[in-house]
Structure 1
Amino acid sequence: MDSKIEKIIDFTYDVLIKVGFNPTFASYISAFGNLIVLMIIAYLIFKICLYWFHRLLNILAEKTHTNFDDLLITNKTAKYISHLIPLLLIYKAVPIILQKFTYWEGFFAKIVDMYIVILVLLIIRTVFNALRDHLKTMPRYSDKPIDSYIQVIMIVLWGFGVTAIILMLFNLKPQTLITTFGAISAIVLLIFRDTILGFIASIQVSVNDMVRIGDWITMDKFGADGDVIEINLATVKVRNFDNTTSTIPTYSLISDSFKNWRGMFNSDGRRIKRHVLIKSSSIRFLPEEELAELKKIQLIADYIDERQTDIVNFNRSRSIDKSLLMNGRNLTNFGLFRKYINEYLHNYPGLNKNMLMMCRQLQSNEFGIPLEIYAFSEDKTWENYEFIMADIFDHLIASVVYFDLEIYELPTSKSLVQFAKESNKLT
């Protein structure tokens, strides 16, 4: 039993010696105490550096006209830079404190080296973030996918950083690591597939100017209908008009179809294209007495006089028998209504008179004859656009009765009840 205990003690002793443990209790306590003192001193230096770096950046921010230095403060650049001086102190002091503990000296040195790499990357990231926020305040770059470019740069830098950490941690040569990465390149491509596709898509979107921040886009596949608020390496965020947010993979912008409304906003007008259905049974020729009544409508009074003179001369020159109204040339209530709508549109103040404007008859169907308004409003703001369109169609629908036309609509329960009552009276 005693021999087994002695073997365990000898084994433990050998392990401690191999990892650099000095069996001298005083030296162990001394090294441990020195490390604590070093950490306290490093923390105090960090606080002092943080205070002065903040003070320096605030002075620069007050004396410069650019907001870039303000953004450096916001993105905590001074906080990460303040770690450098105490970290340098630790890097120089640890080998001295742990000179009797060879294993732990190398272990702490690797930790410090890895932390330096990570700290440098964090400092670069905060500077890039400040640069991104600064460029977004400039009109020239406000609609560019700056986030995508910065993310690509940071992915490359983090790749180098991780490579450096692996080399430090395992004492590898760069050639060995490159060979290993080559062997697992297929796995790497699979893992970063979306990132690679997003990077390619971001370049194509930017070069071809397909989407900008602030554009109104519609993409039914992803339920997106609103303004682009962010373009990243992997995703595009859209704030929908119902205040929800849709996330679209960046690659989908070049692989799928979507609608960008920027061209409409850059044009001189926003299109109005809507129709009402006129009952075909309400369309008829107009006799002389009804034309006299319709001449009271000022917008078409001159037109009726002109057309009536031409029609009368035409019919007389050919000895047309007008005892039957359909013989020869005639005016119809539907034709006059279309002419009235055209004149109304040309006199409406909210429409762009330099763009296409017309009232046209479409192919008839089982519901009637569509009468379509095709015009462009000068005001492209959604709310004002809807008001203009509604105002035009309010007038159109209310005017139908003056031309003895009817608009088609499915019968309601009230109309069916009224029809049944009238049918009972007849029987």
Structure 2
Amino acid sequence: MHQFIQQWVTKIPGTAGYESLLTSSITMVVIAVLAVISFYLVKYILLRLITKLITKTKSNLDDILIKHQVFSRVAYLVPAFLVYKLTPVALSAYPALSQMIVTLAAIYMVWMVVMIVDALINSLLDIYYAVDISRQLPIQSFAQVAKLVTYLFAIIVVAALVIGESPLKLFAGLGAMTAVLMLVFKDPILGFVAGLQLSSNRMVGIGDWVDIPQHQASGDILEIGLTTVKVKNFDNTITTVPTQSLINDSFKNWRGMQESGGRRIKRSIFIDVNSIRFCDEEALNRYRKINYITEYIDKKLAEVQAYNEKSNITLDSSANGRRLTNIGTFRAYVLAYLKNHPDINQDLTVMARQLAPTEAGIPIEIYAFSSDKNWVNYEAIQADIFDHLLAVVGEFDLRVFQTPSGVDLRRLVSPSS
């Protein structure tokens, strides 16, 4: 093509002495036109045809490649390749200008290759996150490292093109810059190592509910990156936590609860010590009418009576022998109530226990697991249980401890009020 244009230019009258300039200029215009035509051919004909074929396939993998514009970016690579290959021939008479254009075309191609690799990595991430295992083994940090290495490699290649040296020489010189690079990329390196530990030990995953008190974060993990972890708090704010802090500091992951058979209920009712007493016959007759503990009372009374008779204990004093107490009977009722509750998982621990006395009274602690782990439903189940127990505690002649309020103090001063 260059020779044909040169022969044609020499036949034009008045071009003597300018043949080389005109030939080079016309050739470059032709190359530019060919580059534009190739761009439109690839982008608007070839890529559209490929897109139509891809949309007809059942797999969504190729659709993800289209979404991230992997194919469309190839269209920007083709014209640059034509300029890179044809310019040395067109500007053979002007080597300095030819070298500059070729270098610019090469830099542009390197940049476009980086963009294609970046889009491929994003596509692979989308494909991976469509798999269930991605929740337990996030690879966002690995993808970011791959991008970082790609961009670093591209910068070295571009620098080599600008100074006209082999990229291998620049790579060899990186050894002397290791200390500087480690200082510059300290956070990404620490984040990458932390990401490896988080992923290999499956400490956290996308969607896990975590509590990180040091950073006032409590919510679901949105993203595990190279240097940061994004947590969406329950007030819909986003907390960004350094990745390495999940290794260096402690945090709570609620995944175990979510994967288990229930969510724990662990709360106490504080009983006023002054309301605790032994059960008399009248109280026991009332308690027998409560369905959940009728059998318990009869069984316990028979056990107590047999023990007292065997030990020849006289019951003249309430301190002698064994007797039923209202707090013990209430504790038995609480346990029976939990055992019969439809929303309590009976395959896990169900317990009503008495804890050590405190200045606020004697705690009767409920320890059980709700079958429904949804936060809203769990709170409703827990509230219903304690609503019932707080309302029924008076049936056992017990009082719930409560710190005196202003109303209570006024009643002490003015009993009539």
Q: What's the TM-score once normalised by structure 1's chain length? A: 0.87
Q: Identify the residue that residue 165 of structure 1 maps to in structure 2.
A: 158
SS in 1 for 2:359: coil
Listed as ranges, the matches of 1:154-193 within 5 Å are 154-174=147-167, 176-193=169-186
- Measured at CA, do residues 139 and 311 of structure 1 come closer, stay the same or move farther in structure 2, by a change above 3 Å? closer
**Displacement after TM superposition at 1:327 (Å):** 2.4
Unaligned residue ranges in structure 1 (runs of 5+): 1-23
- Measured at CA, do residues 51 and 344 of structure 1 come closer, stay the same or move farther in structure 2, by a change above 3 Å? same
> Contact 2:338/2:344 (CA < 8 Å) preserved in 1?
yes
Listed as ranges, the matches of 1:60-79 within 5 Å are 60-79=53-72
Listed as ranges, the matches of 1:58-137 within 5 Å are 58-137=51-130
> Contact 1:53/1:78 (CA < 8 Å) preserved in 2?
no
Q: Identify the residue that residue 418 of structure 1 maps to in structure 2.
A: 411
Q: Distance in 1 between matches of 2:291 and 2:110?
A: 83
Q: Identify the residue that residue 395 of structure 1 maps to in structure 2.
A: 388
Q: Distance in 2 between matches of 1:271 and 1:31?
A: 81
> Contact 2:83/2:102 (CA < 8 Å) preserved in 1?
no
Letter of the aligned partner of 1:333 in structure 2? Answer: N
**Displacement after TM superposition at 1:87 (Å):** 1.1
**Displacement after TM superposition at 1:48 (Å):** 2.6
- Measured at CA, do residues 419 and 168 of structure 1 come closer, stay the same or move farther in structure 2, by a change above 3 Å? same
SS in 1 for 2:285: helix
Number of aligned positions between the proteins:
401
SS in 2 for 1:140: helix
Q: Identify the residue that residue 251 of structure 1 maps to in structure 2.
A: 244
Q: Does 1:372 align with 2:331?
A: no
**Displacement after TM superposition at 1:38 (Å):** 4.3
- Measured at CA, do residues 145 and 183 of structure 1 come closer, stay the same or move farther in structure 2, by a change above 3 Å? same
Q: Identify the residue that residue 297 of structure 1 maps to in structure 2.
A: 290
- Bigger shift: residues 189-198 or 304-313: 304-313
Aligned-pair RMSD on alpha carbons? 2.3
- Bigger shift: residues 323-332 or 274-283: 323-332
Q: Distance in 2 between matches of 1:89 and 1:230?
A: 41
SS in 2 for 1:184: helix
Q: Distance in 2 between matches of 1:174 and 1:84?
A: 21
Q: Distance in 2 between matches of 1:117 and 1:189?
A: 25
**Displacement after TM superposition at 1:224 (Å):** 1.7
- Measured at CA, do residues 143 and 318 of structure 1 come closer, stay the same or move farther in structure 2, by a change above 3 Å? closer
Q: Distance in 2 between matches of 1:57 and 1:400?
A: 74
Letter of the aligned partner of 1:410 in structure 2? Answer: T
**Displacement after TM superposition at 1:31 (Å):** 5.6
- Measured at CA, do residues 85 and 138 of structure 1 come closer, stay the same or move farther in structure 2, by a change above 3 Å? same
Q: Does 1:227 align with 2:231?
A: no
Q: Deviations over 1:115-171 (max 9, x none)?
A: 111111111111221121122112233543232222222222222221111111112
Q: What's the TM-score once normalised by structure 2's chain length? A: 0.89
**Displacement after TM superposition at 1:52 (Å):** 2.4
Q: Distance in 2 between matches of 1:46 and 1:361?
A: 80
**Displacement after TM superposition at 1:325 (Å):** 2.6
Q: Deviations over 1:7-61 (max 9, x none)?
A: xxxxxxxxxxxxxxxxx89976886676566445423431231112431332332
Q: Distance in 2 between matches of 1:57 and 1:128?
A: 21
Letter of the aligned partner of 1:102 in structure 2? Answer: P
Q: Does 1:331 align with 2:324?
A: yes
**Displacement after TM superposition at 1:421 (Å):** 1.1
Q: Identify the residue that residue 384 of structure 1 maps to in structure 2.
A: 377
Q: Does 1:283 align with 2:276?
A: yes
Q: Identify the residue that residue 359 of structure 1 maps to in structure 2.
A: 352
Q: Distance in 2 between matches of 1:404 and 1:35?
A: 102
> Contact 1:278/1:368 (CA < 8 Å) preserved in 2?
yes
Letter of the aligned partner of 2:402 in structure 1? Answer: E
SS in 2 for 1:47: helix
Listed as ranges, the matches of 1:46-57 within 5 Å are 46-57=39-50
Letter of the aligned partner of 2:194 in structure 1? Answer: A
**Displacement after TM superposition at 1:319 (Å):** 4.7
- Measured at CA, do residues 208 and 329 of structure 1 come closer, stay the same or move farther in structure 2, by a change above 3 Å? same
Letter of the aligned partner of 1:182 in structure 2? Answer: G
- Measured at CA, do residues 40 and 417 of structure 1 come closer, stay the same or move farther in structure 2, by a change above 3 Å? farther
**Displacement after TM superposition at 1:235 (Å):** 1.5
Q: Deviations over 1:289-318 (max 9, x none)?
A: 221122111111222122223333433454
Q: Distance in 2 between matches of 1:261 and 1:295?
A: 42
Q: Distance in 1 between matches of 2:174 and 2:106?
A: 22
Unaligned residue ranges in structure 2 (runs of 5+): 1-16
Q: Deviations over 1:214-262 (max 9, x none)?
A: 2111111122211112111222111111111111222222221111111
Letter of the aligned partner of 2:252 in structure 1? Answer: K
Q: Distance in 2 between matches of 1:229 and 1:53?
A: 38
- Bigger shift: residues 218-227 or 337-346: 218-227
Q: Distance in 2 between matches of 1:28 and 1:409?
A: 100
Q: Identify the residue that residue 3 of structure 1 maps to in structure 2.
A: none
- Bigger shift: residues 394-403 or 62-71: 62-71
**Displacement after TM superposition at 1:96 (Å):** 3.7
> Contact 2:265/2:367 (CA < 8 Å) preserved in 1?
yes
Letter of the aligned partner of 1:367 in structure 2? Answer: A
Q: Distance in 2 between matches of 1:413 and 1:36?
A: 94
- Bigger shift: residues 139-148 or 342-351: 139-148
- Bigger shift: residues 31-40 or 406-415: 31-40
